[in-house]
Amino acid sequence: MHTDQLVTMLAQGAEPVARRASGRRFAAALLAGSVAAVVLMLALLGLRPDLREAVRDAMFWVKLGVPALLLVAGLVACTRLGRPGLRIGSAGAVLLLPVAVIWLLAAFALDSAPASARVALVLGDSSAACVASIALLATPTFIAVFWAMKGLAPTRPALAGAFSGLVAGAAGALVYSWHCPEMAAPFIATWYLLGIAGPAIVGALLGPVLLRW
Amino acid sequence: MSGREDELRSLLVRGLGGDGASYHAFLKDLSGFLRAYLRGRLAGIPDEVEDLVQETLLAVHNQRHTYDRGQPLTAWVHAIARYKMIDLFRRRSGREVLHEPLDDDALFAASDEGAREARRDLAVLLEQLPDRHRLPIQYVKIDGMSVAEAARVTGMSESAVKVGIHRGLKALAALVRQ
C-alpha cells in the first residue's frame, strides 16, 4: 500500500474525537477499582470495630491522607504519561510530600518513645497482613488502571506501569485503612508504603510487556 | 517554523473535530515531514524509512485522542515518531538502542513528498485481519461507504462497524510490530 493510499484510508470517514477522553477513562477505572476494593474489604476483612472512636483521632486522617495524596499525584502523572510528549511535571514532586510527612511523624514518634517500645511501634501486630491486604485490595484497581493506560500511548511504559501500580497500591491502602486498627506513624511509614510500593514495582515490570502500542 | 507548526496544528484540531478534509491534509503534510525527518535519522537503513513513515502515521491516527489541544504538536508527533523508531531498532537487533540526542525542532524543518513504496504492504496485512475488523475497514475506510451502509451490507450493527474499524486499525498496528 502506497503511503498516499494509507493517508486517504486513515482520513476516510474518521470520526470526531471526544475531548478529555483520557481523564474520563482513568476516573472510570478508579471508580470501578475502588468499588470492587470496598466490596472485597467489607466481605473479607470488615470495618475496624472501633471506627467511631478512631475517626476522632487525627492519626486516622493522616493514615487516609497519605495514600489519598499519593493516589491523586499518581493519577495526574498517569494522565500525562499516557500522552506522548508530556512530562510528568510537578506530580512527581508532590509524591514526595506525603512520604516526607509520614516519615517525619514516624521519626518523631520513635524519638519520643522509650527504646524498648520502638520495635513494637514499627512492627505493630499486623505487618504481614497489612502488606498482603493492600496488595489484594489494590488488584481490582491495578487491572482497571492498566486498562485505562492501555487505551493511551505511553512512550515510557515502565514508568507508566509503575505509576499505574502506584495508583492501585494507594487505592488499596486507602480502602484498607478503614479496616486496619494500627495507628502508629512508624507502622504506616513502613508497611503502608511497602504495600503501595509492591504494586508499583509489579507495574514497572509489567508495563513494558502490557503497554506496548 | 512556528508558522508550519501552527498550520499543521490547526488542520489536526479541525480534523479531531470531524473535518475529514482537514484531517486528510494534516496526514498528507505530516507524512512529508516524517519522511524527511526519518530519512535523516535512518541514514544507515534507508529501506526502512517508508515503512516507518507508514507505521508512525498509523500510530498518529490510532492515538490521535491522546493529543492535548494545548500541547505543542511537535512534541506530540516527535514523541510518537521516536517511540516507533526505538521500537524498530529493538526489533532489528534486540541490542542496538539509539542514544543519539534528538532535536525536537528538527521535525517540521523539512518535508519530503517523494513517497516510495514501502517494503511491507499494509494491504496484505489487512487481509489477515478477521472479518469483523477487515470488512468495516474495507467498506468504510477504503470503499468510502458510510457507517450505515457498511452496517447494512455486513449485517453488523453501526456501533459494531465503528468498533471494528477502531480495533482493526489497532490490530493492524500490532501486526506491523511483529
- pLDDT in the model for residue A15: 86
- Give domain limits for chain B: 2-108, 122-177
Instruction: List A residues 78-137 in contact with B (Cβ-Cβ < 8 A).
Output: 82-86
Percent of the residues in chain A that have a pLDDT greater than 90, as a whole number: 80
Q: Is the reported ipTM for this assembly greater than 0.85?
A: yes
Predicted local distance difference test score (pLDDT) of residue A157: 95
Q: Maximum Cα–Cα distance for chain B, whole Å?
A: 52
In whole numbers, what is the pLDDT of chain A averaged over residues?
Answer: 93
Q: List the grid coordinates of B135.
A: 470488512
Taking one residue from A and the other from B, the number of pairs with CB-CB distance under 8 angstroms is 117
Closest to B64 (Cβ–Cβ): which among A9, A13, A17?
Answer: A17
Q: Is residue A125 part of a domain?
A: yes
Task: Tell me the pLDDT tens digit for each residue of A158-181.
Answer: 999 999 999 999 999 999 999 999
Reduced to 3 states, what is the DSSP secondary structure of residue B67?
Answer: coil
Q: pLDDT tens, A52-103? A: 898 899 999 999 999 999 999 999 999 999 999 998 888 888 999 999 999 9
Q: Which cell is A81 given?
A: 504519561
pLDDT single digits (tens) B14-46? 999 999 999 999 999 999 999 999 998 998 888
pTM: 0.88
CB A88 within 8 A of CB B72: no
- Domain ranges, residue A154: 67-213
Q: What pLDDT does A71 receive?
A: 96
pLDDT for A132 = 94
**Residue range B2-108, CATH number:** 1.10.1740
pLDDT at B100: 52
Mind telling me how many Å the CA of B144 is from chain A's nearest CA? 7
Structural domain contains residue A107: yes
What's the length of chain B? 178
Looking at the complex, does the CB of residue B122 fall below 8 Å from at least one CB of chain A? yes
Rounded mean pLDDT of A23-38? 93
CB contact under 8 A, A83 and B67: yes
Q: Are B31 and A7 in contact (CB under 8 A)?
A: yes
Q: Return the C-alpha cell found at B89.
A: 531498532
- Residue A82 pLDDT: 94
Nearest C-alpha in A relative to B17: A16
Instruction: Give me the pLDDT at residue B114, please.
Output: 67
pLDDT at A30 over 70: yes
- In 3D space, the residue among A189, A33, A10 whose CA is nearest the CA of residue B64 turns out to be A10
How confident is residue A206, by pLDDT bands cut at 50, 70 and 90?
very high
Is A147 contained in some domain? yes
Cross-chain Cβ contact A13/B17 below 8 Å: no
Segments of chain B scoring below 70 in pLDDT: 1-2, 94-106, 114-117
Looking at residue B115, its pLDDT comes to: 63
Give the integer Cα–Cα distance in Å for B25 and B132.
29
The pLDDT value recorded for residue B105 is: 58
CATH match of B122-177 with 1.10.10.10: yes
Contact B15, A10 (CB under 8 A): no
Longest Cα separation, chain A = 77
A164 inside domain = yes
| Average of per-residue pLDDT across A34-50 | 94
The one-letter amino acid code at B161 reads V
Nearest to B83 among A18, A22, A155 (CB): A155
- Our count of domains for chain A comes to 1
A41, part of any domain: no
Does some domain include residue A47? no
Q: Using CB atoms, pick whichever of B17, B50, B61 lies closest to residue A10.
A: B61
Q: Give start and end residues of each alpha helix (H) in chain A.
A: 3-11, 21-40, 51-54, 58-81, 91-112, 115-123, 127-150, 157-176, 185-187, 193-210
Q: Pick the residue with more confidence: A206 or A21?
A: A206
